[in-house]
């Protein structure tokens, strides 16, 4: 069976950056399972997997616009240190939850700390990066009616109810 919309796809992957540094991998774990055509993985990778079958292996390069987007400078802000009440030690790399403009919760990463301000970045950590995937497709099957209704994979590698 070839990968098409409404198929459950399970695959192993290694993700690296432009310098060949490993960012993530499924090595030693169950394959990642997703419901094809339902936004479960980044669009650039999903598009490249269309038409492939179990046993296929491929290398895929995904540009930022088809992954986590370009780096948005508007999502990098210097906020007053007083906004971090109750946090004694603030260091570069720390993550905090913040409220976005629409009231949603978003993660921010501390980029710089001064006596007066803390610069935080609300961009996805992989925004602006070209991503390189080494993929091996483990299995492809038709999704169940329940998986299609719920919009995600059930069982091994998927969601458990």
What pLDDT was estimated at residue 104? 85
What pLDDT was estimated at residue 20? 96
Residue 141 has pLDDT above 70, yes or no: yes
CATH number of 73-121: 2.40.10.330
Q: How far is CA 153 from CA 9, 29, 47, 97, in A?
A: 9, 17, 18, 28
Architecture of domain 7-68+127-150: Roll (3.10)
What pLDDT was estimated at residue 38? 95
Q: Which carries the bigger pLDDT value, residue 110 or residue 154?
A: 110
Tell me the C-alpha distance between 14 and 6, whole Å: 24
In the chain, what are the domain boundaries? 7-68+127-150, 73-121
Residue 114 has pLDDT above 80, yes or no: yes
Residue 125 has pLDDT above 80, yes or no: yes
Residue 161 has pLDDT above 60, yes or no: no
Q: What pTM, to 2 d.p., does this model score?
A: 0.83
Closest CA to 76 of 118, 134, 36, 21: 118
pLDDT single digits (tens) 25-49:
999 999 999 999 999 999 999 999 9
What pLDDT was estimated at residue 102? 81
Tell me the C-alpha distance between 33 and 103, whole Å: 31
pLDDT single digits (tens) 66-83:
999 999 999 999 999 998
Span of 17-21, 141-145, 155-159 with lowest mean pLDDT: 155-159
What pLDDT was estimated at residue 88? 86
């Amino acid at each position: 069976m070839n990968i098409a919309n409404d198929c459950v796809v399970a695959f192993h992957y290694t993700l690296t950056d432009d310098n060949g540094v490993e960012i993530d991998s499924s090595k030693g774990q169950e394959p990642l399972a997703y419901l094809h055509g339902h936004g479960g993985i980044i669009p650039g990778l999903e598009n490249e997997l269309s038409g492939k079958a179990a046993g296929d292996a491929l290398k895929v390069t995904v540009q930022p616009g088809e992954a986590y987007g370009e780096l948005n400078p508007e999502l990098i802000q210097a906020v007053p240190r007083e906004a971090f009440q109750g946090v004694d030690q603030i260091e570069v790399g720390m993550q905090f939850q913040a409220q976005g403009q629409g009231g949603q919760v978003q993660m921010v990463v501390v980029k710089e700390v001064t006596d007066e301000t803390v610069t935080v970045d609300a961009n996805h950590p992989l925004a602006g990066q070209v991503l390189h995937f080494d993929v091996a497709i483990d299995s492809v099957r038709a999704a169940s009616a329940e998986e299609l209704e719920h919009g995600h994979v059930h069982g091994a590698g998927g969601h458990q109810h």
